Amino acid sequence: MIAPILLLAIGNESRGDDALAPLLLRRLQAEALNERIEFLEDFQLQIEHAADLVGRELVLFMDAGVETPAPYSFYRIQPDDGRTVFSHALAPQAVLATFVQVYRANPPPCFVLCLHGEQFELGATLSSEAEQGMAASMEFMQELLREPHLDAWERRLR
């Protein structure tokens, strides 16, 4: 049985603040807020992640970004296979475009939580800015997951 809500965290713990999304995902998973949620973590997005969207009601891509306003930004995305500023193999919008191409259907409603990061060098630890932003991000996610439906998520758009 497929959980209706997917949280997909992208990041590499060996690259400083790039670890933000996976760390936040694990904290949320430890709280087990809702059995309707599946937690998935990967280093980068690939076209195969389009299959993870099948049967979902809501999807949240979580990642860290340098130019993201502190402590995070939250927004809805649409399919787009164009170039983006993400450092990973694919942007979330490209995963949605792959979904449309492969399944010949619209993807579920998808959102991005981009966490503000400062340092992404190999071997770096979390920056102090990232550590400070983690509490605000956790609080936001706890509130978001208390109302896991489209209308509630759209009311929280930043």
Give me the pLDDT at residue 83, please. Answer: 52
Give me the pLDDT at residue 86, please. Answer: 47
Give me the pLDDT at residue 39, please. Answer: 95
CATH of domain 5-155: 3.40.50.1450
Give me the pLDDT at residue 1, please. Answer: 85
Q: 85-121 burial string, b = 16+ CB within 10 Å, else e?
A: ebbbebbbbbbbbbbeeeeeeebbbbbbbbbbbbbbe
Q: Where are the domains of the chain?
A: 5-155
Strand 110-116 vs strand 72-77: parallel, antiparallel, or unpaired?
A: antiparallel
- The total number of residues shown for the chain amounts to 158
Give me the pLDDT at residue 114, please. Answer: 94
E strand or H helix that includes residue 132: helix 128-146
Give me the pLDDT at residue 87, please. Answer: 46
Q: Which residues have C-beta within 8 Å of that of residue 69, sequence separation ≥ 6?
A: 116
Give me the pLDDT at residue 33, please. Answer: 65
Q: pTM above the 0.75 mark?
A: yes
pLDDT 10s digit of each residue in the chain, 158 long? 899 999 999 998 888 889 999 999 999 999 876 788 999 999 999 999 999 999 999 999 999 988 888 899 999 999 997 654 444 568 999 999 999 999 999 999 999 999 988 888 787 777 888 888 888 999 999 999 988 899 999 999 96
Report d(CA 118, CA 129) in Å as an integer: 7
